[in-house]
Each structure stands twice: as C-alpha cells, then as structure tokens.
Amino acid sequence: MDSKKLIESFAEFARAKNIDRPTVIRILEDVFRAMIRKKFEMDDNFDIIINLDEGDLQIWRFREIVDDNSEDIWEHDKMSLSEARKIEDDFEIGEEAAEEIEFISFGRRAIMAAKQALLQKVKDLEKDVLYKKYAELIGEMISAEVYQILNREVILLDDEKNELILPNSEQIPKDRFKKGEYVRAIVHKVELQGSIPRVILSRTSPVLLERLFESEVPEVSEGLITIKKAVREPGARAKVAVESYDDRIDPVGACVGMKGSRIHSIVRELQGENIDVINYTGNLDLYITRALSPAKLSSIQHKGDRVAVYLKPEQVSLAIGRGGQNIKLASRLIGKEIDVYRELNDQEDDVSIEEFADEVESWIIDELKKIGLDSAKSVLAVAKEDLERRTDLERESIDALYSVLSREFED
C-alpha cells in the first residue's frame, strides 16, 4: 500500500466517524513520526507535510553539511560534504541539506504496521468521541432502535449504529420490546468497562417523566410551566408537582390537556402508569394535602423531618394506597416521611403501652417505643399498613397487638 491509498482510506474512515480534520492530521503525523523513529532513531530533524484532499505525503529530512573528516559526521542531523554533493553538486560546508524520504523506503512491514496503528488510533478516538458525546447527554431523552434482546439487558442502536444498553433494572416491569422498534429512554449514565464506554439508558428514572412532559406539553418546553419535582413507582404510579409563573395558565389543566389528551400519551409511553399532576405550593400543609389526594386529611402535625397526618378511619386506606404507593410517593414528593394516624375518640382514657407487658412481648413494646408510640391509643391511631412499614413487626403480630389493645377500650 502506498502513502496515497493509506491516507485516503484513513481519511474516509475518519470522516465516517465524524472525526475533525486537525485531529486526523495529528494522528497521521504521530504514526509517521513513529515510523521515522523506528528507522532513524530520532525525528526532530524531519518535517512531515500531509495534504488530506489529495492524499499526498512528503517526508523531508534536514541535515547540516560537515567536512568528511569531522567528528560530528555520525550525528543524526549531520551529513558529510561528499554525500551532500550527491544530491546537489554545489553544496558547501555549513549549509543545510533537505532530502525527501520516499514512503516506500520504509519497507512493507513498517507500512503495514503504520496501517494497523492508524486503525487502532481511530478506534481509540471513536471510543473517546462516544464517551464525550453521551456524557454531555446524561439526563436527556433519546430514541433508539432495539437491536438485540438478551436475558439481562436490551441492546439498542443510535443513528450512528453505536450500541446503547437498557438493563432489566432500568426497564418498566410491563415493557415488552421487539427487534427493530424504536424506544424512548433517557441517558442515565456512561461508564467505562476497561477502555470501552458503556452507555446506560433508563426508562424508570423520574427524569424520563419530566422529559416526556417537556415533549408533550408546549408550556413546559417553553418554560411557562415548571416541573418542581417528579417521583415514580415505574409502571404503577407517579406524582408530578407543577407550577406556573403566569396566573393565566392553569399548570395542572395544561399538563393534563383537553379530555386528558396530553397526559394519555405519556401514560401510554409508560405502560399505563397512573400519573397524579399536583399544583405546587410553598404552603407545606396544603402541599401535603394535595400530595396525599384523594384522601381527605383531618389535621397535620410536624415532627422535625417527619409529618403526622390524622384521618378518619375510612380515609386511611386512600392515603396509604395500594401496596403503600400513595404514601411512599407523597413522602418522596414533599421530602419528608409521612406517618398516618386514625382519629380516635379523645374522651377515652389512654393507657401506657407498658401496662400490657403481661400480654405483649417486651421486644414488641421496645419496637413501638422506637417510633414514638408509647400508649395504646397512639398505636391504635396508626394504620396497620403504616405500622408494618415503620417497624420490623409482621402482619400477624400486628393483628394480635391491635386485638389486645382494642379490648382495653371495649365496654
């Protein structure tokens, strides 16, 4: 392979990978200088001229002309007068001789090594370009084609045929993919496996929900409506707090759309995820009330980084939600742990939890005290589901505990 073919093939390959011209020239020069050092040991007295458009390569060697008997004649940048006059017969001592080195003179083995070095350089650079590209896209939504479905992950291809990874842990439980279909996800992270970048996508991140609102609701993409926070139980339920800085715009109505047209497309994309859109407010009590909708709260008490909400017995299950989803999401939305209590008749006398030591095991009493429940009424005011979530007690033990405490207040 001559220099023209080598440069042209490399330049074409680099263009296909969107590698810029100065970088291509720098790589070519680095490879050719490595060839020079291997043959001549030093390269500081060589100039390399590369013309990408024509595929031309010129390698010039510069040496100072010295007397044939000079001790310096063996230095890499010196040339004897007799040797110089073979190039031009009018050279004199002290002048600089420029000699063009033919590419073919490096030999077939060196040229093949240069070709392999160029290909390796491009592959390394391609990895860097891929890493930097997707590192800048973290948190952005992209669409990619399903290429291969494996046991632990799905491999997708972007427009440049780069492989992207969607692990099972980042898939919505109801996701079912087919080869060739396009999937929307966010760029979750980019990690290096050895020297190979792995682009990890996610469909479970709350950020995907935010990007879908930006895509489907013009007021969000234009900045008229702000998403204050989004929380999700992927594929099941989500809560999104929105706020508008324009009093003329109803943020909840704009996000839902006429007859739910905007929210329905997001719900379909997320495999039927039930999305509650909530009007954000700086009034924490009102914000908590909206976050726990559709339950109706009787009162709210703040206890440091926790919030106690009191409800009528028939409202407790609504506040907790199926599998505790509603209260979990509400807690994450407001940024505080929410404890749910039933309202009880205040005329009844309370009884210390210690009074039940003969019927309730001591470790259970200790478990209750850890979460601030030191009386019978305080325990009975907590929903069973909430007590199970906040302690290490099993449901069977909780049922027995409630039975014992309830008898204390029976006529």
Q: Do 47 and 157 belong to one domain?
A: no
Provide the 8-state DSSP code for 382: B
8 and 128 together in one domain: yes
Residue 257 and residue 141 share a domain: no
**Cβ atoms 60, 103 nearer than 8 A:** no
Whether 30 is covered by a domain: the verdict is: yes
For residue 238 the two structure tokens come to 């989500």
In a domain, 327, yes or no: no
Strand 299-303 relative to strand 306-311, pairing: antiparallel
CATH of the domain at 233: 3.30.300.20
Q: Is residue 345 part of a domain?
A: no
**pLDDT per residue as tens digits for the range 186-234:** 999 999 888 889 999 999 999 999 999 999 999 999 999 999 999 999 9
82 & 112 share domain = yes
Question: How do residues 268-323 score in pLDDT, each as one tens digit?
Answer: 999 999 999 999 999 999 999 999 999 999 899 888 888 989 888 788 888 888 88
User: In the numeric block, which tokens belong to residue 250?
Assistant: 């109803």
Q: What's residue 348's pLDDT?
A: 52
> Across the chain, which distance is largest between two alpha carbons, in Å?
128
Q: Are residues 377 and 399 located together in one domain of the fold? A: yes
In a domain? residue 342: no
Domain boundary among 171, 204, 237: 204
Report pLDDT for 347.
46
Say if 312 falls within a structural domain: no
Q: Which of 99, 132, 165 is the last residue of a domain?
A: 132
The mean of the pLDDT values for the chain is: 89
HSE at residue 160, side-chain half, CA atoms within 13 A, is 13
CATH classification of the domain holding 156: 2.40.50.140
Domain boundary among 204, 236, 256: 204
Instruction: Name the residue among 171, 291, 327 with its Cα closest to residue 234.
Output: 171
Global pTM exceeds 0.85? no
Query: What CATH number should be reported for the domain holding residue 99?
Result: 3.30.1480
Is 88 part of any domain? yes
Q: What does the DSSP 8-state code read for residue 322?
A: G
C-alpha–C-alpha distance, residues 346 and 262, integer Å? 47
Specify the number of domains making up the chain.
Answer: 4
Same structural domain for residues 150 and 183? yes
Residues 48 and 106 in one domain: yes
Asked if residue 175 belongs to a domain, the reply is yes
| Whether residue 268 is found in the same domain as residue 377 | no
Distances in Å between the alpha carbon of 322 and those of 138, 233, 236?
Answer: 33, 12, 10
Phi, psi angles (nearest 5°) of residue 353: -65, -25
* 295 vs 319: CA distance, rounded Å: 5
What is the tens place of the pLDDT at every residue in 319-354? 888 888 999 999 999 999 998 888 765 545 778 888
DSSP state of 245: S
Over the stretch 88-139, which tens digit does the pLDDT of each residue have?
888 899 999 998 999 888 888 888 888 888 888 878 888 888 898 999 999 9
The structure tokens listed for 109 are 């083995």
Q: Are 268 and 196 within one domain?
A: no
Please, are residues 118 and 105 in contact by the beta-carbon 8 Å criterion? no
Range of the domain at 156: 137-204
Residue 24 lies in a domain: yes
Q: What angle do CA 159, 181, 215 make, to 5 degrees?
A: 70
Say how far residue 33 (Cα) sits from the centre of its chain. Answer: 40
Say what the pLDDT of residue 346 is: 53
Same domain, 10 and 124: yes
Among 70-79, 137-146, 392-401, top mean pLDDT goes to: 137-146
What is the per-residue pLDDT across 21-38, written as a single tens digit (0 to 9) for each? 888 888 899 999 999 999
